[in-house]
Amino acid sequence: MGKYNVDKMGFYGNYGGAYVPEILYKTVENLKDSYEAIIDSDEFKKEFHDLLRDYVGRPSPLYYARRMSGKYGCQLYLKREDLNHTGAHKINNALGQILLARKMGKTRIIAETGAGQHGVATATVCALMDMPCTVYMGALDVERQHVNVERMRMLGAEVVPVESGNKTLKDGTNEAIRDWCCHPADTFYIIGSTVGPHPYPELVARLQSVISEEIKWQLQEKTGRDYPNWLMACVGGGSNAAGTIYHYLDDERVKIILGEAGGLGNDTGMTAASLQTGTTGILHGSRIKLMQTDDGQIVEPYSISAGLDYPGTGPMHCNIYETGRAQVLSANDDEALRAAYELTRLEGIIPALESSHALALLPKVAGQFKKDDVVVLTVSGRGDKDLDTYLANKDKIK
Ligand SMILES: *Cc1c(COP(=O)(O)O)cnc(C)c1O
């Protein structure tokens, strides 16, 4: 294991760990002690990879974006997670975790969701595997993400609106943890990003690492070299970024650029850039950088992109930010909107608003690129779900 991977105690440098209530201690220990042997087994690997191929549609293409390359003075390749079944990278993780749950003898699945994307991915794999599924979602998010709620219900999941707190993602997560505390023996909690108590951040990163596994051989085929000069991705909790960088973490020839959601601007308080504006604390079982008051109360993050407004960022990313392994920048709402229109017009690809936050960094970092530099940017999802937002804001694009 390299120096940016998790250590035996579940930490990435100063971040991570497993701060869980006593009632969950045994459940989390059990997961920690069994997940590696299971996901490293030939049986699991075959089942996972067969489904990634036949059900998710992997490998996702690595696409050379000719016009964008010309514009930004580099060799830009897009890793097309937007082409996966259900429209984003989240299905890779949900599928891996439900296979793990079955191997561990669990019979019931719970999940939290904010924008609804992870809820849909989880409900999807529960339908596939014929397992009962309960999704906790803040009541305000239930209203805002109506289409995804109907999707989950059509897939057979029970969606529970959570009325506590601000009625958003953090409250949905709290309620999922409460459920888990009541049913630790039969229930598996499918967490949607590289967050939560150890071993979840590492488990999710491992399951998403299929992204960089594919980038390696796809780059070898296309450029004759299995590594890029630059990797770029957006960060909410951190899972698509973790998947993109996983197999290059210790390869210092490869520079990493991560994009947080700056909302209306990091100095306005209306932001979701928790790495750049947050402070260290404990949230959902893990020591991370998060947005909080001096008293340790969570500050509601803001971004135009529902998938990026988690109040913290996973421990792996906190560590690579702090140690300087990754450059972390933010893109504001308007910059992300502009980037989405640009990719649409130059390449005919309508990206998710979340992914647009990675694209929006290109004009900010292009000065660091040399013409022959290979840049791989992960398009984490497709923009169908964001069409209303794109149309409502089209006069902001000049
Ligand atoms: C959920 C989501 C994200 C943010 O989550 P990460 O765990 O940071 O990857 C990014 N893009 C899309 C399309 C999403 O659905």
- Residue 26's alpha-carbon distances to 21, 23, 32, 119, 360, in angstroms, are 10, 7, 10, 26, 43
Instruction: Choose the residue to mutate in 60, 113, 234, 235 for probing ligand 1, maximizing ligand atoms within 8 Å of C-beta.
Output: 234
Over range 157-168, report the average pLDDT.
94
78, 83, 90, 316: which to mutate for ligand 1, most atoms within 8 A of CB? 90
Residue 303: active-site member: no
In this structure, the residue with its CA closest to atom 4 of ligand 1 is: 236
pLDDT of residue 309: 83
| CB contact at 8 A, 229 and 373 | yes
Is 175 an annotated catalytic residue?
Answer: no
Report CA(212)–ligand 1 centroid distance (Å). 16
Q: What is the pLDDT of residue 144?
A: 85
Q: What's the one-letter identity of residue 38?
A: I
What percentage of the chain has pLDDT greater than the value 90? 95
What would you measure as the largest C-alpha separation in the chain, in angstroms? 57
Q: What is the pLDDT of residues 179-238, one digit of tens each?
A: 999 999 999 999 999 999 999 999 999 999 999 999 999 999 999 999 999 999 999 999
Q: How far is the CA of 224 from the centre of ligand 1 (A)?
A: 30
* Nearest alpha carbon, ligand 1 atom 2: 307
Task: Please list, residue by residue across 112-121, b when 16 or more beta carbons sit within 10 angstroms of its beta carbon and e when fewer do.
Answer: bbbbbbbbbb
Closest ligand 1 atom to the C-alpha of 382? 13
Which atom of ligand 1 is nearest to 241's Cα? 9
Per-residue pLDDT tens for 22-47? 999 999 999 999 999 999 999 999 99
Catalytic residue among 112, 175, 214, 342: 112
Whether residue 318 contacts residue 303, with contact meaning beta carbons closer than 8 Å, is answered with no
The average confidence (pLDDT) of the chain is 96
Q: Residues of the chain with pLDDT > 70: what percent? A: 100
Q: How far is the CA of 53 from the centre of ligand 1 (A)?
A: 21
- In angstroms, what is the span from residue 239 Cα to ligand 1's centroid? 7
Which residues, in sequence order, are CB contacts of 119 under 8 Å at separation 6+? 111, 112, 113, 135, 137, 148, 152, 157, 159
pLDDT of residue 398: 67
Task: Tell me the CA–centroid distance for residue 240 and ligand 1, in Å.
Answer: 6
Of all atoms in ligand 1, which is nearest to the CA of residue 243?
A: 9
**74-129 confidence digits (pLDDT tens):** 999 999 999 999 999 999 999 999 999 999 999 999 999 999 999 999 999 999 99
Best of 93, 97, 169, 380 for a ligand 1 pocket test (most atoms within 8 Å of beta carbon): 380
d(CA 323, CA 217): 28
Mean pLDDT value of segment 353-377: 98
CA 116 to chain CA mean position, Å: 13
| Residue 112 appears among annotated catalytic residues | yes
DSSP state of 381: B
What is the CB < 6 Å shell around ligand 1?
A: 88, 90, 117, 193, 234-241, 307-308, 352, 354-355, 380-381
Q: What pLDDT score was predicted for residue 33? A: 96
What confidence tens digit (pLDDT) does each residue in 275-307 have? 999 999 999 999 999 999 999 999 999 999 988
- Residue 242 CA, closest ligand 1 atom number: 9
The residue-averaged pLDDT of 245-254 equals 98
Three-state secondary structure call for residue 83: helix
Q: Whose CA is nearest to atom 14 of ligand 1?
A: 307
| Ligand 1, atom nearest to 355 Cα | 11
Helix %, strand %, coil % of the chain (to 5): 50, 20, 30
Q: Report how far ligand 1's centroid is from the alpha carbon of 112 (Å).
A: 14
Identify the residue with better confidence: 310 or 211: 211
Distance 118 CA to ligand 1 centre (A): 9
Among 79, 90, 167, 385, the one annotated catalytic: 90
pLDDT in tens, 121-159: 999 999 999 999 999 999 999 998 899 999 999 999 999
The SS3 of residue 389 is helix
* pLDDT for position 2: 87
pLDDT tops 80 at residue 1: no
